[in-house]
Every structure is written in C-alpha cells, then in structure tokens.
Amino acid sequence: MSYHDAHILDQYAYQESIIHRLDPRAKIIAILFFVITVVSFPKYALIPLLPFVFYPLVLAILSGLSLRILFRQVLIASPFFILVGLFNPILDRALIEFPALGIHIRAGVVSFLSIVMRGALCVSGAVILVSSSSFPRLVEALQALGLPKAFTVQLSFLYRYLFLLIEEAKRMNQARLLRAGTSKNSFRTAVSMLSALLMRTLDRAQAIWLAMRARGFQDEIKTARKMKWRVNDFIFLGVSIFFC
C-alpha cells in the first residue's frame, strides 16, 4: 500500500456513516468471523463463496467507501494470494464437473480461483475495517477484547509515527534528487540513504521516548472516550454472523 492510499483510507476512517458509528469491537468480531468462515470452505469450493462477495460490497456502500479504492487495494494485495495457488493448475490435473454449467474444469484451476477469491474477500474485509474505524479506536478495541497491552501500545506507536517516517524518507529522496539531478538511484546511494534514515529514526525515537516520560507516560495510552455496546452493535454483529 502506498502512502497516498494509506492517507486516503485514514481520511475515510474519520467520516460519518452508519458503519462508522458502530462499536469497533463489533466490527472486529464480525470481520474476524467473516474471514474464518471464508477460509473454512473446502479447497474446491468456488460457487458457494460467491454470496460472500455481497458482504464487503454492502459494507463499503453503507460506509461511503469508494468501490474503486476497495478494488484497488484488492489488486495491490492480489500478487500474494495469486502466488500461493499459482502452480495448482499444473499439479492438480483432475477434472471437476459443474452440472449447472454442463462443463468439466480442471481441479487445479478451481482450487486456484478459490484461493484468489478467498484472498480477495479477506483483503476486502480488512480494508472495510480500517476505513470505517480510525486506527487508534481499533487499537483500543483490541485492548478491550483482551489483546496484551504491550502489543496494543506498540501498534499505536507504529501507526502514529509511520507517516512521520515516510515523510522523512520523502524529504531525503527529494534532497537527493536536487543534489544529483537524476531519478536513478545506485545501490551505494540507496544503502547510504537507508543507513541515514535508520540513524534519524533511532534519534527521533529516543527524543520521543524522553518527551513522553517527561510528561508522565506509564506504558499505557489513556483516552477520554469510552466504548459502550449499543443495540445497533448487537444487531450488526448478529446479522453478520447469521449471514456467514
């Protein structure tokens, strides 16, 4: 995912819709149940997976997320799950009959398409989750669901300073372009830039840690807004589980 895409999804997370107003815990449990259900089908299941396409599409429409952005994120992640089943058509040469279509298809092709569909559905669910709830709220929800505090604090810091690190890398690259006058980057230059970025990251991390300790940080991120289950959250979670 590029910096531009991450920034767009972050902006969507702070919009207002019926999905945005749901408790993040309900959305996490619903998406998790959706993903577990999708991956639990047999390896040759293809047609039974088709109804699950409607779930992320409906959530995207209700949350106001552009379907173009949703499809773009799926396409970006597609090489990973395509690579998983790339050799299935070659290794599995058995034939599977589809009575409804009146044709026979090689089992390897069916399993490959099934893997691709599962991957696309799982990525769609994850994109819907992060685009309908801000990342800090998701981290709070994970901690409320029992995830260890040390892990949630690390996630929170990773999100807060990832954009800062990307901006620092962009400034370094811009400075290199102004000095070199060319967009070509040699291996030696790339190694030098990465080393400089690592040292700047360590210095920035130390300064941030000292500033937080000076302000009384006690290994816990406290928020003023409390989470509370509502009727809409139970309805959404119940409908999602029933659909799956």
Measuring CA to CA, how many Å separate 217 from each of 201, 212, 220?
A: 20, 5, 7
The residue ranking higher by pLDDT, 37 or 11, is 37
What does the pLDDT read at residue 205? 79
Q: Are 108 and 90 in contact (CB under 8 A)?
A: yes
Region 108-136: mean pLDDT is 90
Q: What's the mean per-residue pLDDT of the chain?
A: 84
For residue 66, count other CB atoms closer than 10 A to its CB.
Answer: 13
Taking Cα atoms as reference points, which of 39, 37, 40 lies closest to residue 29? 37
pLDDT over 80 at 189, yes or no: no
pLDDT over 80 at 223, yes or no: no
What does the pLDDT read at residue 144? 86
Taking Cα atoms as reference points, which of 9, 26, 29, 8 lies closest to residue 18? 26
What does the pLDDT read at residue 35? 95
Q: Give 165-170's long-range contacts (Cβ < 8 A, gap of 24+).
A: 165/197, 165/201, 166/3, 168/197, 168/200, 168/201, 168/204, 169/197, 170/3
pLDDT over 80 at 163, yes or no: no
pLDDT over 80 at 55, yes or no: yes
Where does the pLDDT of residue 2 fall: very low under 50, low under 70, confident under 90, or very high at 90 and above?
A: low
Per-residue model confidence as pLDDT tens digits over 103-118: 777 788 888 889 999 9
Give percent above pLDDT 90 in the chain: 31
Per-residue model confidence as pLDDT tens digits over 20-31: 999 999 999 999
Where does the pLDDT of residue 102 fall: very low under 50, low under 70, confident under 90, or very high at 90 and above?
A: low
What does the pLDDT read at residue 101? 64
What does the pLDDT read at residue 181? 66
Q: Quote the CA–CA distance of 91 and 95 in Å, as a whole number.
A: 12
Number of residues that this document lists for the chain = 244
pTM score > 0.85 for this model? no
What does the pLDDT read at residue 184? 67
Region 113-124: mean pLDDT is 93
Region 217-238: mean pLDDT is 83
